[in-house]
Structure 1
């Protein structure tokens, strides 16, 4: 498998975010199943799943206020991590051949 260049940063959140942010019920209710799976495991995506994960993070970004209200995390904390994930996805989509990402 080809190595994906590192995004601008690699901070995605604390271990506690697995349950209190990514695995919060609001994420599930928004239909973000891949993101929600961080509650229990890392995300490994390739090919079409990259586009699905990108779609989920776009949904995530469109619902900041609701997520902030439900989880208690501030907008900057949430946006920084979501945009970091989108940057990793962008790099992987640009590379395409046997490239995937891991979030965990």
Structure 2
């Protein structure tokens, strides 16, 4: 099983609606075990990341108001990508491609005032 990253919008009642993944976009956020071994790992936490480590214990919901801060966390992780990938024993290009997918969803969410769901 794999983790998926999606964009959601809240309706007038506060219920969230997951949007379809646009054609040409990839929704893979990594393998299921990456919840703990990559996104929730000690090296990611040591950078000061607070959003992605949530995946170690639950799905991640980033509300629209938090998307800018989430994008800053993704940029921080990207700046240390090679070191993190080496520390968790994954190929840099593989982690980078999943990070690209997460960032693309976050950028789509920011553009429409939506949130990001990784599950």
What number of residue pairs does the alignment pair up?
102
What is the CA–CA distance in structure 2 between the aligned matches of 1:101 and 1:29, rounded to whole Å?
A: 23
TM-score, length-scaled by structure 2: 0.79
CA 1:5 to 1:51, structure 2 compared with 1: closer, same or farther past 3 Å? farther
1:22 aligns with 2:39: yes
Q: Which moved more, 1:58-67 or 1:46-55?
A: 46-55
**In structure 1, what is the equivalent of residue 99 of structure 2?**
82
**TM (normalized to structure 1)?**
0.90
Q: Give the Cα separation in 2 of the matches to 1:19 and 1:95.
A: 30
Asked if the contact 1:4/1:91 (under 8 Å) is kept, the reply is no
Q: Between Structure 1 and Structure 2, whose CA radius of gyration is higher? A: 2
| Alpha carbons 1:22, 1:36 under 8 Å: kept | yes
Equivalent-residue separation in structure 2 for 1:3 and 1:90 (angstroms): 15
Deviation digits for residues 28-51 of structure 1, max 9, x if unmatched?
100111011111111101222111
RMSD: 1.4
Q: Which has the higher strand share?
A: 2
Which residue does 2:52 correspond to in 1? 35
CA deviations 1:76-98 (Å, max 9, x no partner) are 111011110010011111101xx
Within the alignment, does 1:101 sit opposite 2:116 as a pair?
yes
The 5 Å alignment of 1:47-58 reads 47-58=64-75
